[in-house]
Structure formats: structure tokens, C-alpha cells
Chain A
Amino acid sequence: MTMIEVISLLEKLATDSTLKSHDIAHLLSISTLSEPVKKAILDKDIDKLKAFLAMNSSTNCPIQIPAEDAPEDEQSEESEAANS
């Protein structure tokens, strides 16, 4: 429940252009979140927030592009080109 409430709150903060910073305090005051979680949100302390929510604290590994193609990729590109 706490997690759903936090994510909904983050989505609201991210998508409502009329919200000012003092509105965060108001939104938190009417939420059922625990005081430490509220404080972490107010302090914008993402790491503490993750800890309270028992989330993995590490950032995900980004999906990226390799600097070079894998040798097998090059081979398949060559064979595709040969077939076309």
C-alpha cells in the first residue's frame, strides 16, 4: 500500500504542472505514509526513500549501445547483405 501511494504521489508530482513546492507538503499531510517516508520525500532523499521502501538501492543498468558490433552481428549483417 505504501509503495502504491508513493508511486502515485511521484506520478502526481511529475505530471501536474500546477503543483508548487509547498503543495508537496499538503499532499503529504493528507497521505497515510509514515513520517520517515514523508520526510524522505520532503528532503528529496531518494536513497533514504528506497531504504524505507525496502527497494534495491542501486540504479538499474542502462540499456545502451555497444561501441562495436559483436563479431557474430557483423557476420549476420554480411550474410543478410549477400542474400539481398
Chain B
Amino acid sequence: MAGSLYCVGVGMTLGAHICPLSRSYIENADVVFSGVSDGFVELWLHQIHHDVRSLQSFYGKNKSRHITYREMVDTMLAEVKQGKNVVGAFYGHPGVFAKAPHDAIARARAMGYEAKMIPGISAEDCLYADLGMDPGKQGCQHYEASQFMLYKRRIDPTAMLILWQIGLAGDLTMGIDATGAAERRLLLELLAQDYPLDHLCWLYEAATSPLQTPRMEQMPLKSLVFADIYLHTTLVIPPLAPMIPNPLLRARLQQLQLKDKHKMTTHKNNVIPFDTSRKNNHDHD
């Protein structure tokens, strides 16, 4: 069936983070829809393709983002249904904390069209590089800030905690305006169950242009209430304490591996047996 949809990531910093495959999809598309960080990135996309249509116009005051995202999806799919090769170019990674690209791909596939997502360098990737933090060191938990408030979670303060969309923390309207001090005070109340209020956290914003430096502002948790927080700000809470060892499981693993080691050494030889018949038959050909 003619018509396809590719949702590609253009990364966070203008021009610097896009992969060759995503760029190629953009260059060869019939039409490109853009959901990017700012006007500079939109103009940069216009230099790659002559027909770039911004999805920004779907946002509106007092309009639920549920409606906005559905309209974005409908708009992209309308072009796919006309047999066009459509690209949705989204900042960062199109599939990380982004509803519209996932929905668009799922619906296009359900209708029988070819649809695929191409990853991009996300804010999360930039965060690890800029803040010098490795999610593998002590583990890492990621939550959407409002969801973190609305649903009960079991927080592990010995791992890093990252709250995304902190600017919308506690928002029940699904609008586009940032929430304020009152909602953040409630978030702080929740965090205070696991962290002391003087625990140092980071407010992070990736650089979207080479003229910018990323925002990496360290402050005690209690300062969050009146901090400058925008829709693209992320809250990073480093581990509060070292990991707690599990000696029981360590002992069981040691026992298990000692047994396996013994098994290996008592085996006739230590080579893992494999079937050579196929190779031998081939040799006789």
C-alpha cells in the first residue's frame, strides 16, 4: 500500500544530534511535520526539506493536550492516506516522553501502512553526558512528574530519581501552562517522605543551540518551590545513600557458582559440546 510514516528524532541540539538515517528520511519525504524545540530548529529543517509543516499550531490555551496530540496524529495520517511518504521530525527521541509519535505509528500500522520510528539523541542522553551521571552506577528511576504525584510509587532513594515534565507537575487540566508553587509544594511533600529537604538536586535543561550552554542548576530540594521551572525543565535527584547489600543472595550466588565450577572441572573436558555433523557433511560435499 502506498503511503508511509517515519517518526524520526532530530536530537536536542540543532544539527548536531541527528543521525544520518533520520536525515535521509527527512530529505526523501514528500512532506515533513515538525515538533521541535524552537524556531531555529524549524528553520534548520526547512533547509533540509522544502515542505516542513510545524505541528505547533495545534497547541492552544485552555485546550487539552489529549486533543492536540490526536489532531497531530490525524494530520500526519491524512497525508499518509493520500499515499505520501510522511516524516514526523521530533526533537530529542521521538519515542521518549512523547505520545503523538507512538500513537501515529501504531495507527498507521493498524491501517496497513509502513511505519517506523528512528531514535534520536534525547534529553536523557544529554543529561547523563552534561551532569556526568551514569544511570548504571546505582540505578535510575524515571517518572513523569504528574504521574509520580497521582499514582503511588515505591521510591528507592539509593538510586537516582529523574522527574520529567516537572513544569507541569500536578497539572490536571492537560493544558500547556506550567503549574506553580502550590503544586510544587505538594510534590515536595511527597518527596520529603524519602528525602531530607536539604538534599541537593539538579534542574536540568539540554542545550538546543550551539550558542547555549545546558542549564545545570544545583539546589536543595526545598528551593524547588520557587525555582524557575519551565515546560522543558527536568528534575534530577541523585541517590541519597549508598546501595544496601543483599548478603543472603550473594551467599546463594556464591554457592551456586562454586557448584557450577566444580561441575565444570569434573567434566571430561571443559569444552561445551556441540553438534559437528553438519560441518562434517559439508566437508564431504
Contacts and interface: CB of A to CB of B under 8 A. Distances in A.
Interface of A: 3-4, 6-8, 10-11, 13-15, 41, 44, 46, 49-50, 55-56, 59-68, 70, 73
B211 A41 contact: yes
A8 B14 CA distance: 10
10 contacts: A3-B43, A14-B14, A46-B209, A46-B211, A46-B212, A60-B36, A64-B98, A64-B231, A66-B69, A66-B99
Given A41-B211, A60-B35, 10 more contacts: A7-B14, A8-B47, A14-B13, A56-B39, A59-B230, A60-B37, A60-B42, A63-B69, A63-B72, A63-B99
Contacts, number: 104
B43 A65 contact: no
B211 A67 contact: no
Contacts of B113: none
Nearest to B176: A61
Contact of B150 (A11, A61, A63, A68): A68
B16 A64 contact: no
Contacts of A65: 97-99, 144, 165
A57 to B, nearest CB: 9
B195 interface: no
Given A64-B165, A66-B65, A67-B147, A7 B43 contact: yes
A55 B39 contact: yes
A44 B214 CA distance: 13
Given A60-B39, A67-B146, A67-B150, A10 B14 contact: yes
